[in-house]
């Protein structure tokens, strides 16, 4: 399967800290985040992936993962 659903980082930010690399005080470089996302998107298209973009709402979780077994 070479189809992807991607959400651009319109509301990207550090809302909580779960490791030493996440700092709410330092925050995120929004322009850099958007530039990196565009680069990733273009790379995937160049590799032959089909992409559909979806806009997310502010304060909507960016990632949810299934519970770990065990």
- 3-state secondary structure string, 38-68? HHHHHHHHHCCCEEEECCCCCCCCCCCCCCC
- Token readout for 9 is 């980082």
H or E, element range at 4: strand 3-6
pLDDT at 68: 53
pLDDT at 62: 56
Q: What angle do CA 52, 33, 13 make, to 5 degrees?
A: 100
> Would you say residue 61 lies in a domain?
no
Q: What is the mean pLDDT of residues 61-69?
A: 54
> Would you say residue 11 lies in a domain?
yes
How far apart CA 1 and CA 49 sit, in angstroms, is 9
> Would you say residue 63 lies in a domain?
no
Residues 9-63: pLDDT tens digits?
888 888 888 888 888 898 888 899 999 999 999 999 999 999 888 776 676 655 5
> Would you say residue 47 lies in a domain?
yes
How many independent structural domains does the chain possess?
1
pLDDT at 70 over 70: no
> Would you say residue 70 lies in a domain?
no
Can you give the residue range of the structural domain that contains 14? 3-53
How far apart CA 23 and CA 25 sit, in angstroms, is 5
pLDDT at 48: 93
């Amino acid at each position: 399967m070479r189809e992807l659903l991607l959400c651009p980082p319109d509301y990207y930010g550090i809302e909580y800290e779960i490791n030493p690399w996440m700092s709410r005080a330092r925050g995120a470089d929004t322009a850099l985040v958007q530039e990196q996302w565009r680069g990733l998107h273009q790379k995937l298209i160049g590799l032959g992936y089909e992409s559909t973009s979806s806009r997310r709402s502010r304060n909507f979780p960016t990632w949810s993962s299934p519970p770990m077994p065990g």
